[in-house]
Each structure stands twice: as C-alpha cells, then as structure tokens.
Amino acid sequence: MCVRKNRTPEGCNVDYKNKTILVAGAGRSGIASARFLLGRGARVILSDSKQREALDPAVSGLLESAAGFSGELTLEPGGNRSESFAAANLVVVSPGIPLSSPFFEISRNVGVPVIAEIELAYRHLKGKILGITGSNGKTTTTALTAELLTGAGLKAHAAGNIGTPLIQFADESTPEDIFVTELSSFQLEAISEFRPFAAALLNLTPDHLDRYGDFEEYAAAKARIFMNQTAGDIAVLNADDPRTAAIAASVRAETLLFSRKGEVAAGAFVRNDRVILRDKAGEKELFPVDAVRIRGAHNLENVLAASLLALIAGAPPESLHESIRKFHGVEHRLEHVASIGGVAYYNDSKATNVDAVIKALEAFEGNIHLIAGGRDKDGNFAALRPLVGERVKQVILIGETEEKMRRALSGAVEICIAASLPEAVELGRAAAKPGDVVLLAPACASFDMFDNYEHRGRVFKEAVSLVRS
C-alpha cells in the first residue's frame, strides 16, 4: 500500500485582523469557528435565528471569554439581519443551515464568499485530512479509522460531523496530525478548496429529501468530497453499491474499492472469511472476518473502508487485527444497551433514514420489536415492508410520522402507538419474550421530540435502565 504524503493547504497566512466575518449558526460548529476567528483578530458576528435563551449553552462561555481575544464578538440572536450579511467580508455557514437561505444570496450578490466551517479549517490545518461520507456508516467508519491509526502509534483525531468541529484543531495542529473527518452532505455543499488526500464514499441511498430537490441533487452533494482531488490523491468507493461504484469513472484521484461480496482489482475484499488487501505489490491477508465484533453485514463494509483508509494514512497492515478485534462500535449505532430477562435491547438512534433501518433489521434473524418514528425526511417507509413482515413481531410508532408510517406498514405487522419513547420501551418490554430484541431504529430525524439523535438515544437507554425482568 502506497502511503500518501501530506500536502499543505494554501491560505494559512490569511489575515483576519479587523475583518468582519459573519458566522451563521450558533451551534457547535459556529461556536468553534467564532472562537478561532476571534483569536485571529476578526470582528465576528455570530448570528442565529433562535432566541438567546434557546441557544447552545456554550455561547455563554464564548461571550464570557471574548474579552480575552484580540478580536471582537457581536451576538445577533432571534433572527438573521440582512445588513450584517451584506456588510461582512466573509460568511462561515454551519451545516444545519440550507445554502438556499435568502440571507446567503444577499452576501453573494455583493461579492461576499460563503464557506463551510470545514473549508475554513482546511485553509489553516497542518497535517493530513481523511474525509468520510455516505448515507450510512460514516460515524462508525470515522471512529474505527481513528482507532486503527492510534492503535498503530499514529497521531489521529476523529473530527467533523462525528462531534468535534474540524476548525477546533486548527491552532494546535502539526504536520504529524491525521484528521479523520466525518462529512455530511450539508458540510460539503459549501466547500471551494477543501481537498482530503484520501476520501471515502461509503454508500448512497435516499436521505434528506426534505432538504434536497431529489436524490440526484443529494448524491451530487455527497460526490463533492472528490471535487478537488487530483491524481496524487485517493478515492475509496464501495464496489457493492452500484451508485457509489459508478462514481469511480468520474473521479480524478486513484481509486481503491472495497467489497464484502466479491474480489476487486485494487482495494480490500473478503475471501474465505479473510479480509484481503490487493494493491500493486500483490495480495496480503489482513485479518479474519470473525475479528469484527460489531453486528451487521453493513458494518463489515465499514470495517473494509476503515482498513483501507488507515493503510493509506500509514498504518502497518499487521497493526490492524488487534484494533479491529477491540472495536465494539459507537454509541447510538446498533449499540447493545442491555439484556434483561432474555430480551436484548439495542439503540440505533442514528438510523435516521429507511436504508439504515433496513441494515439494522438485517443484523438480526428475527423476533424484533421495532421502535420507529420521528420527524419525516421524506422517507419511503413502504420500502421497510418486506423485512418488517419477515423479521419484526411488532412495530411501535412515536412522533410526527406516526400516521404516515402506520399507513405504509399496515397489514405487514402488528402496529402499536406510543405517546413517548419511554412508553414505547414499556410496550416492547411487555410484549417481548426471551430471545426477542427491542430495537430503536427510527428511520426519521429526532427534532420533533428531542434535541438530536444523541438525546433520543439517551432517553431510550434511560428507559431501558428502568426495565425489570
């Protein structure tokens, strides 16, 4: 495996002193961007449509510490202001805000650049950037890649959509750092120069169709991860996903594939229950499939992708086996919460689209009590009918999509309605028998009832903790 050298992004010497920079969105990403820019002497306007009392509590800490920076901070809560978007020298947008917002058009019309937080970070980070996107599996692959690299003695950090904004690392970064970065389609919408030296697209299935006009528009946003790559970079693609594999013909980077179903010309695949690396040097066995401890065929795909990325970034092949064996997954991703009275409880709160729920159901042989529902992302819930009819004993619905999901699944399975997630857990407990599984896999966003999918997952786990056999 050819280990790729880092390239230094341009723009590291940008002078922000006394420049007015508007940061749109006062969430985790926006706060980190504002803090970085304040340290560079910028006049930062932190704008958010939420009222002051509804903002992330970390905003208060930023305000309290602002006096210690060389820049100046102005907080504009409760609605965006057109004059601020027009007067800025630069706008940094948080991923939750659609670029179709008319306020960004105000900035563009007067020649003000609008960039993502990851674009800002890219222009200042020292070190290597690995980029990971896809409809499902991003967080697991990101976390595992970072663990494979640290297990090999390298200085790796999980960043981006996984939780820690990439810009947060900029000031302390060194050429030895490797930033394993989970990237959503929202983040990729507003890049211009951002260029990971290795980028992976794990899969493509319909998602976020409440934000995108159609699936093609969503897929195009994902494919932007390869936009600035050249022949000296690497693109990692899933050979088992026809939509993803088709992108190989259009990327400029060297392409490596991964497959759990068949052999590939260059990349990682499974043969006789062994994971094999094939590259210009020939073939090498990496580890047995039974070293993978996380459930589901989809997670084997995630392991293959993570292994390739780790090797590209410099991990020795012989270092992977032990780290793979020790990896037990990520919170809220098909997470085993407890087994009580012979019933297993699994938290897959991150299963926010239909395809993710299909993968979760495929991870179990049957006897599932499925808790689903939330805020609709224009999902095709009828696509769940075959597996639900085959493997699910009971569907327990919550949230805004309750009626839509009930219509889509009616006749395929027994359906119950719960007013809350704890009530859903109790309904599952009451109906489940030893050997059954109570699975939270919502197929929806969480924002109708919860702050985010993590909050939903925590509420599920708290409810399970109260279950008595």
CA 236 – CA 143 distance, rounded (Å): 17
Whether the CB-CB separation of 449 and 398 falls below 8 Å is answered with yes
| Single-letter code of the amino acid located at 449 | M
Per the annotation, the verdict on 138 as an active-site residue is yes
Whether the CB-CB separation of 59 and 122 falls below 8 Å is answered with no
Q: Which residue has 């064996």 as its token pair? A: 325
End-to-end CA distance of the chain: 51
List 124, 128, 136, 138, catalytic entry: 138
In terms of C-beta density within 10 A (0-12 exposed, 13-18 middle, 19 or more buried), how is residue 109 classed? exposed
CA 401 – CA 378 distance, rounded (Å): 10
Q: List the domains of the chain with CATH numbers.
A: 20-112 (3.40.50.720), 119-326 (3.40.1190.10), 335-465 (3.90.190.20)
Query: Following CA atoms 455, 170, 130, 286 in sequence, which dihedral angle do they give, to the nearest 10 degrees?
Result: -90
The region, left, alpha or beta by phi > 0 then psi within -120 to 50, assigned to residue 137 is left
Res 469: pLDDT? 58
Are β-strands 90-93 and 20-24 bridged in parallel, bridged antiparallel, or unpaired?
Answer: parallel
pLDDT in tens, the chain (469 residues): 544 444 445 445 688 999 999 999 999 999 999 999 999 999 999 999 999 998 989 999 999 998 899 999 999 999 899 999 999 999 999 988 888 899 999 999 999 999 999 999 999 999 999 999 999 999 999 999 999 999 999 999 999 989 899 999 999 999 999 999 999 999 999 999 999 999 999 999 887 777 778 889 999 999 999 999 999 999 999 999 999 999 999 999 999 999 999 999 999 999 999 999 999 999 999 999 999 999 999 999 999 999 999 999 999 999 999 999 999 999 999 999 999 999 999 999 999 999 999 999 999 999 999 999 999 998 899 999 999 999 999 999 999 999 999 999 999 999 999 999 999 999 999 999 999 999 999 999 999 999 999 999 999 999 999 997 5
CB atoms within 10 A of CB 103: 20
Whether the CB-CB separation of 354 and 429 falls below 8 Å is answered with no
| Single-letter code of the amino acid located at 12 | C
CA 5 – CA 2 distance, rounded (Å): 9
Q: Which residues contact 110 (CB under 8 A, 6 or more apart)?
A: 86
Res 310: pLDDT? 98
DSSP helix/strand/coil, 149: helix
| Single-letter code of the amino acid located at 343 | V
Q: 245-250: long-range contacts (C-beta < 8 A, 24 or more apart)?
A: 247/201, 247/223, 250/223
Report which of 97, 100, 159 is spatially closest to residue 131, judged by C-alpha positions: 159
What is the model's pTM? 0.87
Angle, alpha carbons 341-344-347 (nearest 5°): 140
List 80, 136, 161, 302, catalytic entry: 161
Whether the CB-CB separation of 234 and 254 falls below 8 Å is answered with yes
What does the pLDDT look like over 240-299, one tens digit per residue? 999 999 999 999 999 999 999 999 999 999 999 999 999 999 999 999 999 999 999 999
Please give the structure tokens belonging to residue 119: 């674009």
Q: 49-57: long-range contacts (C-beta < 8 A, 24 or more apart)?
A: 49/78, 49/79, 49/80, 50/26, 50/77, 50/78, 51/77, 51/78, 52/77, 52/78, 55/26, 56/26, 56/27, 56/28, 56/31
Per the annotation, the verdict on 161 as an active-site residue is yes
In terms of C-beta density within 10 A (0-12 exposed, 13-18 middle, 19 or more buried), how is residue 38 classed? buried
Residue 157: strand pairing partners? 179
Res 4: pLDDT? 43
DSSP helix/strand/coil, 412: coil
CA 215 – CA 235 distance, rounded (Å): 22
List 124, 128, 157, 208, catalytic entry: 208
Res 13: pLDDT? 66
CA 352 – CA 401 distance, rounded (Å): 12
What does the pLDDT look like over 52-93, one tens digit per residue? 998 989 999 999 998 899 999 999 999 899 999 999 999 999
Q: Would you give the DSSP letter of residue 81?
A: -
